[in-house]
Structure 1
Amino acid sequence: MKTIVLIRHAKSSWDHDVSDLNRPLSKRGFTDANLVSKAFKSYGFSPDAIYSSPANRAITTCSIFMENLNFSKDLLTIDHKIYDFGGNQVRRFLKSLNEGLQKVVIFGHNHAFTSLVNSFGDLDIDNLPTSGLVMIDFNVNHWQDIGQGETKLYLKPKDFK
């Protein structure tokens, strides 16, 4: 059994004259990431590894989740392949994960994550919102074999406001 948790970065701020990679979170982004991460804590999920896009907004969202869930910083790897908006790079990344890993969390971007949620999971969504979280289980032993899985959890900020 393999499990992925896809988390779209929290709402970013457009109030700063910075590159896309350096865009920070907005106040709402901090609030929403805290809401979803604290709700996710009740599920007792324990990942084997955590991956994030190098984008500031993704790393900051990841940090909020890791702190609220008491995840060890040793689990985190920043990977440029996750800075993907279409989904093919992230799909290849997932299929190449170390076989010793069973449960992974990935922080990244749309439209890649909505596309992956819809192609991997059995729940069809129009748009994974910022700070949205989806957990998908795959009844396979090898990451290269992940395909159609079962959506086990879908959390979004508006569920907790």
Structure 2
Amino acid sequence: MKKLILVRHSQAEIDNKTTDFERNLTEYGKQTADLIAKKIVKKLVSTELIISSPANRAKQTAEIFAKEQNYPIEKIIENNILYSGFTTIDLLNMLSKIDNNHNCIMIISHNPDLSTITNNFLNGDFVNFKPSTTAGVEFNVNDWKKVKAREGKLFLFEQV
């Protein structure tokens, strides 16, 4: 069984003085990310690999989730593909390169891509990602290369 935890970054500041890429989390965003991360840990969901968009707000969200899981922050992997305009095929290609020793991975990214991709993985469920939304999708496979669209099952959904 392979599990994918998909997280939309938490609430970010609106700042016309910085680029979209440089936007940071608001205090409320930090609090909600921490709240959701704690809920995930209470449900005994821990990840073996965290991959994040390199944008500040996504990295900050990833660090909050990592801290709650005692996952070393320096082991968070940044992947540029997760910043903007990525597709289900892009994510499937990325997953196909994941070591199969990892059974549960976390992806921290942005909307609308995250909602679209998550819904493409599910067979019937529909989710909409507000900031800090976390969805867990499980696949009845033992190899990341065998993960396919429409074959996932929603096993976790948390929103603020």
Give 1:124's aligned amino acid: F
* Distance in structure 1 (CA, Å) of the matches to 2:118 and 2:38: 22
Partner of 2:65 in structure 1?
A: 65
Partner of 2:53 in structure 1?
A: 53
2:41 matches 1:41:
yes
- The number of residue pairs the alignment matches comes to 156
Partner of 1:156 in structure 2?
A: 159
CA positional deviation for 1:9: 0.3
1:107 is paired with a residue of what secondary structure?
Answer: strand
Tell me the TM-score normalized by structure 1: 0.88
- Where do 1:63-102 residues align within 5 Å? 63-73=63-73, 75-88=75-88, 89-102=90-103
1:150 is paired with a residue of what secondary structure?
Answer: strand
- Preserved CA contact (<8 Å) 2:87 2:113: yes
Partner of 2:2 in structure 1?
A: 2
Describe the superposition over 1:43-73 as per-residue Cα deviations: whole angstroms up to 9, x where unpaired: 1222221111100000000111111222223
* Distance in structure 1 (CA, Å) of the matches to 2:34 and 2:117: 24
Gaps of 5+ in 1: none
CA positional deviation for 1:22: 0.7
2:99 is paired with a residue of what secondary structure?
Answer: coil
Partner of 1:29 in structure 2?
A: 29
CA positional deviation for 1:92: 2.4
Partner of 1:130 in structure 2?
A: 131
Identity %: 27
User: Cα distance 1:154–1:92, how it changes in 2: closer, same or farther (>3 A)?
Assistant: same
- Preserved CA contact (<8 Å) 2:9 2:132: yes
2:98 is paired with a residue of what secondary structure?
Answer: coil
2:93 matches 1:104:
no
CA positional deviation for 1:90: 2.7
User: Cα distance 1:76–1:129, how it changes in 2: closer, same or farther (>3 A)?
Assistant: same
- Preserved CA contact (<8 Å) 1:87 1:111: no
CA positional deviation for 1:74: 5.1
CA positional deviation for 1:120: 0.8
1:153 is paired with a residue of what secondary structure?
Answer: strand
Gaps of 5+ in 2: none
* Distance in structure 2 (CA, Å) of the matches to 1:85 and 1:92: 15
1:115 is paired with a residue of what secondary structure?
Answer: helix
2:108 is paired with a residue of what secondary structure?
Answer: strand
Give 2:155's aligned amino acid: K
1:24 is paired with a residue of what secondary structure?
Answer: coil
